[in-house]
Amino acid sequence: MAQTGSVASKLQTFPEENIDMFAATSVLQQQAAEIRNLKLNWASYLKSQIISQEVFNFISTYDASRNRGQILNNNRAQAAEAFFGLLEHISKESTIQYVLVLIDDLLTEENSRAEIFHEYALRRNEPVCKNFLNLLNAADGFINNMSARILAKVACYSTDYISKTDLQFYLNWIKEQLLSTNNEYMQSVARCLQMLLRRDEYRTEFISVDGMPAVISVLSGRVNFQIQYQLIFCVWVMTFNPRLAGQINEFNVIPILADILGDSAKEKLTRIILAVFRNLLEKPEDSSTSKEHCSVMVQCEVLKQLSILEQRNFNDEDIVEDIQFLNERLQASVKDLSSFDEYATEVKSGRLKWSPVHRSTQFWRENASRLNERNYELLRNLVNLLETSRDPLVLSVASFDIGEYVRHYPRGKHVVEQLGGKQLVMQLLSHEDADVRFEALLAVQKLMVHNWEYLGRQLEKEQSTGKT
């Protein structure tokens, strides 16, 4: 996806209807279609004095009209007062649902109508999002999610930003919905996030409320390709921010997307993943970050996937161009990588395998002490994998590497013990996988042998001192 081409130029003005093409089949929209056909008796609310005569006059006329746009243009203040008044004073769920559909429809028809609600809130000196934020806590799922959808539009399509407090509340709600199990509205939640992240200020805030781990959690699980596409779209949008593009792989984005790229045959998934990868190489301000991203992509076998993609015929010029760009950058990266760079990238990715460096005595002799760099960053990664990974291959290789570190670095045993590595290796002696048990046993032996070698040297030193 060429970043200087048509797609990138549309980023800041991404039209609502483009997103709606795939939102139309969501559970929320199916329910909205049914609710839209309801016939409400507004006179009953007037008679029971739940709504005022002014609200009744507007809503009854608006609801019955075939030219609602003209009514809105001529009665902007009355429209906002009527809609907010209905949401504040009516408690019946079906009526609230209907009012929310009316509001969503008018915003969908014309984005600039979000200003109607901002103007009203300004006159009242109250937050524009108050009513919709309150409805996020409603018991009804449709009310929750339609309110969230309206909030996204109000936040995106108004000239003013919503307040930081309201934004954080909303983003935390989105995060919780992404993490909730069996959420039938997941597609609608993802769509809200897509709309919201059109504005760069909201992207930064989403990172600050720890929203990315929720996105990665969903992408790591078993979800349909539509939700995958929507959430990867969110990642893509965020990578247009140079600072975020430099930070975002801290959440393990590249390995997750590399897996999806290898598993999916959907062209639109291919397109958006390649676009993310390109941004991760082009957008970071620090060239060393781009170099590190290249290394991770190489480690995750993106080059192999690119080779496979080259055999397919794509009509989309963006895909063809991105494949060529990534191929050139990653091939150049392979030539520049040292064996230690490759090793460091592999450890940081958490995807250990029996690559040649692990079994190389020369590699460990030359590089064991480098595991101490950045406050033992790589060694801590290995220890963490022993504690968190469930993959027998990863556990086997991590155990072996810790043993080699101890064997080739004089103070290795002490450092590993301080980091809790010795205890974790010993726990693996009873692992169900035979290979894991074997590598753990070798690592323990190296820990113990190293200790005896150290004691032997000390004894020789003491004996030598005694003779003198």
- Tell me the CATH number for domain 211-337: 1.25.10.10
Give pLDDT, residue 464.
65
Residue 10 has, within 13 A of its CA and on its CB side, a CA count of 11
**pLDDT greater than 70 at residue 3:** no
Confidence of residue 122 (pLDDT cuts 50, 70, 90): confident
Asked if residue 443 lies in contact with residue 403, where contact means CB atoms within 8 angstroms, the answer is: yes
The percent of residues in the chain predicted with pLDDT above 90, rounded, is 64
Q: State the average pLDDT over residues 243-253.
A: 92
Q: State the average pLDDT over residues 322-347.
A: 86
State the CB neighbour count (10 A cutoff) for residue 53.
Answer: 9
Choose between 45 and 464: higher pLDDT: 45
Q: State the average pLDDT over residues 99-110.
A: 94
Q: State pLDDT tens for residues 108-118.
A: 999 889 998 88
**pLDDT greater than 50 at residue 64:** yes
Q: State the average pLDDT over residues 264-293.
A: 93
Q: Give the burial class of 91: count Cβ atoms within 10 A of its Cβ; 0-12 exposed, 13-18 middle, 19 or more buried.
A: exposed
Asked if residue 211 lies in contact with residue 234, where contact means CB atoms within 8 angstroms, the answer is: no
Confidence of residue 14 (pLDDT cuts 50, 70, 90): very low
Asked if residue 386 lies in contact with residue 425, where contact means CB atoms within 8 angstroms, the answer is: yes
CA 403/CA 368 separation, integer angstroms: 11
Give pLDDT, residue 448.
83
Give pLDDT, residue 118.
86
Q: State pLDDT tens for residues 368-397.
A: 999 999 999 999 999 999 999 999 999 999
The percent of residues in the chain predicted with pLDDT above 70, rounded, is 90
**pLDDT greater than 80 at residue 457:** no
The answer for residues whose C-beta is within 8 angstroms of residue 79's C-beta and 6 or more apart is 58, 62, 71, 72, 116
Please provide residue 110's backbone torsions phi and psi, each rounded to the nearest 5 degrees.
-155, 110
Asked if residue 295 lies in contact with residue 281, where contact means CB atoms within 8 angstroms, the answer is: no
CA 255/CA 257 separation, integer angstroms: 6
Fold match flag (211-337 vs 356-459): no
Q: State pLDDT tens for residues 393-403.
A: 999 999 999 99
CA 87/CA 81 separation, integer angstroms: 10
The answer for residues whose C-beta is within 8 angstroms of residue 95's C-beta and 6 or more apart is 40, 45, 86
Q: State the average pLDDT over residues 248-258.
A: 93
**pLDDT greater than 60 at residue 22:** no
Mean pLDDT of the chain: 87
Asked if residue 113 lies in contact with residue 25, where contact means CB atoms within 8 angstroms, the answer is: no
**Domain residue limits, the chain:** 23-169, 211-337, 356-459
CA 235/CA 276 separation, integer angstroms: 7
Helix (H) or strand (E) holding 384: helix 373-388
**pLDDT greater than 60 at residue 171:** yes
Give pLDDT, residue 449.
72
Give pLDDT, residue 12.
42
Region of poorest pLDDT, from 5-9, 38-42, 45-49, 333-337: 5-9
CATH of 356-459, one of 1.25.40.150, 3.40.50.300, 1.10.10.60, 1.10.1270.20: 1.25.40.150
**pLDDT greater than 60 at residue 191:** yes
Choose between 415 and 341: higher pLDDT: 415
Q: Give the burial class of 244: count Cβ atoms within 10 A of its Cβ; 0-12 exposed, 13-18 middle, 19 or more buried.
A: buried
Confidence of residue 4 (pLDDT cuts 50, 70, 90): very low
Which residue, 66, 98, 96, 99, is CA-closest to 80? 99
